Structure 1
Amino acid sequence: MARVYADQSRLMGTVSGLVKEIRPWQWYKQSILLLGLVFSKSLFDPVAVTNVVLGIVAFCAIAGATYIGNDIADVEEDRNHPRKKHRPIASGQVSIPVAAAFGALLFVGGLTLSWRLGPLFFIVILAYLAQNSLYTAYLKEIVIVDVMVIAIGFVLRAIAGVVAIDVYLSPWLVVCTFLTALMLALGKRRHEMTISDDPAASRAILAEYTEETLDHLLIVVLSALVVSYSLYTFFRGGEWMMVTLPFAFFAVFRYHHLVYTKDLGGNPKFLLGDRPFLVNLVAWGLVVIAILYQDPSQLLETIT
Structure 2
Amino acid sequence: MHSTGAPVLDPSVSLQEIDTRAVPLIVDLDGTLIHTDMLHESALRISRDRPLDALRIPVWLMQGKAVLKRNLASRSGFDASLLPYNEALLAWLKEQRALGRQVVLCTASDHAIAQAIAAHLGVFDDVMASDGSTNLAGGHKAQALVRRYGERRFDYVGNSSADLAVWRHARHAIVVNGARGLAHKAAAQCRVEREFAPAPRGFAAWRRVLRVHQWLKNLLLFMPLLAAHQVGDVDGWLTLLLAFVSFSLCASTVYIANDLLDLESDRAHPRKRLRPFASGAVPAWQGVLLAPLLLGTSLALGALVGGTFLPWLLCYFVLTCLYSWVLKRVILLDCITLAMLYTLRIIAGAAALWMPLSFWLLAFSVFLFLSLAFVKRYAELQVQASTGKTKVHGRGYYTSDEPLVLNLGVTAGYASAVVLALYLNSDNVLVLYRQPEAVWGAVPVLLFWVSWIWMQAHRGHMHDDPLVFAVKDRASRLAGLAFGAVVLAGALGWPW
- TM-score greater than 0.5 by the shorter chain: yes
Paired residues of 1:40 and 1:167 also in contact (CA < 8 A): no
Deviations, residues 105-154 of structure 1 (Å, cap 9, x unaligned): 11011111111112510011011011111111211121110000001001
Q: For 2:400 and 2:224, locate their aligned partners in 1 and report how far apart those are by CA, in whole Å.
A: 35
Q: Distance in 2 between matches of 1:57 and 1:6?
A: 39
- Provide the residue aligned with 2:219 in structure 1: 31
User: Which residue is 1:168 aligned to?
Assistant: 356
The separation in 2 between residues aligned to 1:203 and 1:173, in whole angstroms, is 33
Q: Partners of 2:464 and 2:179 in 1: how far apart?
A: 41
With 73-82 and 156-165 compared, the bigger mean Cα shift is at 73-82
Change over 3 Å in CA distance of 1:289–1:111 after alignment to 2: farther
Q: How does 1:132-281 map to 2 (within 5 A)?
A: 132-196=320-384, 197-198=388-389, 200-207=391-398, 210-235=401-426, 236-238=428-430, 239-240=436-437, 241-261=439-459, 263-264=461-462, 266-268=464-466, 269-281=468-480
Q: Quick one: distance in 2 between partners of 1:172 and 1:43? A: 20
Q: Which has the higher contact order (CA 8 A, sep 6+)?
A: 1
Alpha-carbon contact 2:330-2:396 (below 8 Å) kept: yes
Partner deviation per Cα, 1:271-299 (whole Å, 9 max, x = no partner): 3333222112012123323433x3x2xx5
Deviations 1:36-63 (A, max 9, x none): 1101122111100111111111111000
Structure 2 gaps of 5+ residues are: 1-177, 184-196, 431-435
Mark the CA change 1:11 to 1:45 in structure 2 (over 3 Å): closer, same or farther: farther
Cα deviation for residue 253 of structure 1 reads 2.2
Aligned counterparts of 1:3 and 1:127: Cα–Cα separation in 2? 41
Paired residue type of 1:18? W
Q: CA deviation at 1:245?
A: 2.1
Q: Which amino acid aligns with 1:120?
A: T
Structure 2 CA distance for partners of 1:199 and 1:288, relative to 1, 3 Å:
farther
Deviates more, 1:253-262 or 1:45-54: 253-262
Alignment of 1:31-70 (within 5 A): 31-70=219-258
Calculate percent identity across the aligned residue pairs: 26
CA-to-aligned-CA distance 1:201-234 (integer Å, 9 cap, x gap)? 5333223861121122123212211111111111
Cα shift at 1:5? 7.3
Structure 1 residue 266 displacement after superposition: 4.9
CA contact (8 A) 1:187 1:266 kept: no
Count of residues in correspondence between the two structures: 295
Helix, strand or coil: the match of 2:308? Answer: helix
- Name the CA shift for 1:112/1:217 in 2 (closer, same or farther; >3 Å): same
Q: CA RMSD in A?
A: 2.4
CA distance in 2: counterparts of 1:193 and 1:125, whole angstroms: 31
Aligned-pair CA distance for 1:17? 2.5
Deviates more, 1:60-69 or 1:20-29: 20-29
Normalised by the length of structure 2, the TM-score is 0.56
Secondary structure at the aligned position of 1:202 is classed as coil
Distance 1:169 1:4 in 2: 55
1:68–1:103 CA contact under 8 A, matched in 2: yes
Residue 265 (structure 1) shift: 6.6
CA deviation string 1:235-273 (max 9, x = no partner): 133333323222222222222222223532753222333
Cα separation, 2, equivalents of 1:178 and 1:274: 23
Q: Tell me which amino acid in the other structure corresponds to 1:144.
A: L
Residue 335 of structure 2 aligns with an amino acid whose one-letter code is V
Q: Kindly state the Cα deviation for residue 169 of structure 1 after the two structures are TM-superposed.
A: 0.5
Larger radius of gyration: 2
SS of residue matched to 1:4: coil
- Unaligned stretches of 5+ residues in structure 1: none
Write the letter of the residue equivalent to 2:348.
Answer: A
| 1-structure distance, mates of 2:233, 2:477 | 26
Equivalent residue letter for 1:256: W
State the shift of 1:176 in Å.
Answer: 1.2
